[in-house]
Amino acid sequence: MPAAALAIREVPGDGTLVVKNGSAPRGSAVVTLVIRGAVIGQITAQGTVVIDDPTPLDGFAPEVTGYSGSKQTGDTTTRYSGINFRFRAVGGSYKITIYGSGVDLVASGHGNVILTGSPDDSLAPDGRYSLNGGDFRSLPAVATKQLTIGIPTSATG
C-alpha cells in the first residue's frame, strides 16, 4: 500500500487534548469542550455527556453507543447518560460537556476547553490530561480558565 494512502491529513495549527480517567464532583463538568475537529471518548463509570451539534445539516453527526438514557434538551442538543458507554463526534463543530467519572477522551482540531478534576483525589482520583502534545498533568481541583486547543500559525506561513 502506498505511504500516501496511510497519511493522516492535518490542518496547520491543529492541536490535541487527551484526558485519562477523568473524574469531577457531582454537578461539575470534567470537560467542557468547544471544537471543530474530532472527539472520541468513553465514560467507564457513571456519567453524562451533553453534545450540542450547532450545524446538524453539515453531514456530520455525533454517535453515542451503549448509553442507558437520552434526552433531547434543545434543538441541537442531546444528553446521554449511563455506565460504560462511548461517544464520537467527528468532522464538524461541537460543544461537548462531560460529567461523572472514568472519563477518557482524545480530541484533535481547533477549539477551547475547560477542565475540572476532583478536589480530594484520595476519594476519587481526578485523572490526567495532556494539551497540545504537552506532558500529562493532574486535572485541577478547580476549573481551569479556558484553554486553547491548537497551535497558532504564523501569518507569514
Higher confidence at residue 155 or residue 88? 88
d(Cα 61, Cα 55) in Å, to the nearest integer? 9
* Residue 157, domain member (yes or no): no
Count of domains in the chain?
1
* Residue 155, domain member (yes or no): no
pLDDT value for 7: 36
* Residue 154, domain member (yes or no): no
pLDDT value for 1: 37
**149: pLDDT confidence band, cut at 50, 70 and 90?**
very high
pLDDT value for 20: 97
Reported pTM = 0.86
Domain that holds residue 91: 7-149
pLDDT value for 148: 96
**13: pLDDT confidence band, cut at 50, 70 and 90?**
confident
**32: pLDDT confidence band, cut at 50, 70 and 90?**
very high
Contact 11, 36 (CB under 8 A): no
* Residue 60, domain member (yes or no): yes
pLDDT in tens, 57-114: 888 999 999 999 999 999 999 999 999 999 999 999 999 999 999 999 999 999 999 9
* Residue 92, domain member (yes or no): yes
One-letter-per-residue 3-state SS of the chain: CCHHHHCCCCCCCCEEEEEEEEECCCCCEEEEEEEEEEEEEEEEEEEEEEEECCCCCCCCCCEEECCCEEEECCCCEEEEEEEEEEEEEEEEEEEEEEEEEEEEEEEEEEEEEEECCCCCCCCCCCCEEEECCCCCEECCCCCCCCEEECCCCCCCC
* Residue 156, domain member (yes or no): no
* Residue 44, domain member (yes or no): yes
* Residue 121, domain member (yes or no): yes
Whether the per-residue pLDDT at 25 is higher than 50: the answer is: yes
Whether the per-residue pLDDT at 140 is higher than 90: the answer is: yes
Whether the per-residue pLDDT at 120 is higher than 80: the answer is: no
Provide the mean pLDDT of the chain. 88
Average confidence (pLDDT) over 112-128 = 80
